[in-house]
């Protein structure tokens, strides 16, 4: 697989009332086309900051990000962001929310826009709810609407920041399986930020473990468990071994951060 996203020597410094905070320092990373790459690490290590820089929502203090060899310097529909909080428009129906990004594509008629939106509403198992409002949906359904909205504009990259973090454990398991199902059909490049090591091992082809602030890549771990994966893979010895290894890497960083010897 070719390199889709390349991060070169990216650093980020924030200046505020608490003084100068060095969030990232000389981060180098490449994400392959069509893979699910997960970022894990202690809270405050810069995972979300790095995702926002790749999205074009934040500018690096130094360094550069490239998508297909082109420098990233602003947000773009080719990079869709899915947040932990569902970010749906409460005054719009499910259909209107999923159609929203398509409204900015002037070459798509209203009829075609609706056809595309309905395709992804059905794809995410939401048929019959297209006229419902977000307040009428469960948390898992809201997140499926957000994912359908992202897919509808046919992005090259999905950037997912703790997208299942606000869900109950059973719904979270279901959404992980749904994400893998949709990825296997669409083969989008996905950068997925999570605090859950188990979630990362289940989803990812590779996992980047980040150091405590200033954030850097400590190690990239290959998850050599073949796709497709089902929930029972979490009970396998290989899964347990990988989860334990990454837990060890992350716990070292927690200890360093808390000065525990």
CATH code (residue 166) = 3.40.50.300
118 vs 11: CA distance, rounded Å: 41
Strands 62-67 and 36-40: unpaired
Which of 154, 180, 206 is the C-terminal boundary of a domain? 154
The pLDDT value recorded for residue 259 is 56
* pLDDT of the chain, 261 residues: tens digit per residue: 799 999 999 999 998 777 888 999 999 999 999 999 999 998 889 999 999 999 999 999 999 999 999 999 999 989 999 988 778 999 999 999 999 989 888 788 999 999 999 999 998 889 999 999 999 999 889 999 999 999 999 999 999 999 988 888 888 898 899 899 999 998 999 999 999 999 999 999 999 999 888 999 999 999 999 999 999 999 999 999 999 999 999 987 766 655 544
85 within a domain of the structure (yes/no): no
Q: For position 251, what pLDDT does the model report?
A: 87
Complete edge-to-edge strand list for the sheet that includes strand 79-82: 79-82, 157-161, 189-193, 36-40, 206-210, 217-222
Cα(255)–Cα(261) distance, rounded to whole angstroms? 7
Domain count, the chain: 2
Same domain, 251 and 165: yes
Residue range of the domain that includes 129 = 90-154
Phi, psi of 67 (to 5 degrees): -120, 115
| pLDDT attached to residue 114 | 94
Q: Is 224 helix (H, G, I), strand (E, B) or coil?
A: coil
d(CA 39, CA 27): 13
50 is a domain residue: yes
169 and 207 in a single domain? The answer is yes
Q: What pLDDT is recorded for position 107?
A: 85
Residue 182: both structure tokens together: 């949709």
Predicted pLDDT at 158 = 96
The reply to whether 111 and 192 lie within a common domain is no
Q: Are residues 199 and 232 in the same domain?
A: yes
Helix axes 139-152, 110-123, angle to 10 degrees: 130
User: At 39, which helix (H) or strand (E)?
Assistant: strand 36-40
Distance from chain centroid for Cα 207 = 12
Specify whether 184 is located in the same domain as 129: no
């Amino acid at each position: 697989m070719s390199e889709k996203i390349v991060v070169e020597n990216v650093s980020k410094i924030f200046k505020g009332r608490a003084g100068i905070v060095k969030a990232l320092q000389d981060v180098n990373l490449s994400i392959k086309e069509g893979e699910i790459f997960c970022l894990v690490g202690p809270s405050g290590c810069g995972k979300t900051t790095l995702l926002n820089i790749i999205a074009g929502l934040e500018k690096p203090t130094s360094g550069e990000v490239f998508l297909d060899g082109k420098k990233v310097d602003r947000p773009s529909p080719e990079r869709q962001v899915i947040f932990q909080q569902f970010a749906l428009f409460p005054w719009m129906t499910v259909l209107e929310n999923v159609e929203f990004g398509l409204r900015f594509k002037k070459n798509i008629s209203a009829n075609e826009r609706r056809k595309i939106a309905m395709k992804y509403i059905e794809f995410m198992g939401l048929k019959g709810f297209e006229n419902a409002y977000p307040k009428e949906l469960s948390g898992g359904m809201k997140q499926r609407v957000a994912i359908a909205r992202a897919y509808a504009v046919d992005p090259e990259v999905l950037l997912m920041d703790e997208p299942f973090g606000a869900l109950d454990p059973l719904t979270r398991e279901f959404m992980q399986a749904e994400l893998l199902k949709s990825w296997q059909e669409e083969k989008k490049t996905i950068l997925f930020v999570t605090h859950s090591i188990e979630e990362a091992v289940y989803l990812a082809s590779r996992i980047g473990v980040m150091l405590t602030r200033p954030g850097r890549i400590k190690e990239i771990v290959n998850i050599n468990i073949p796709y497709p994966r089902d929930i029972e893979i979490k009970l396998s010895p290989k899964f347990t071994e990988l989860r334990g290894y990454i837990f060890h890497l992350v716990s070292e960083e927690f200890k360093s951060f808390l000065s525990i010897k």
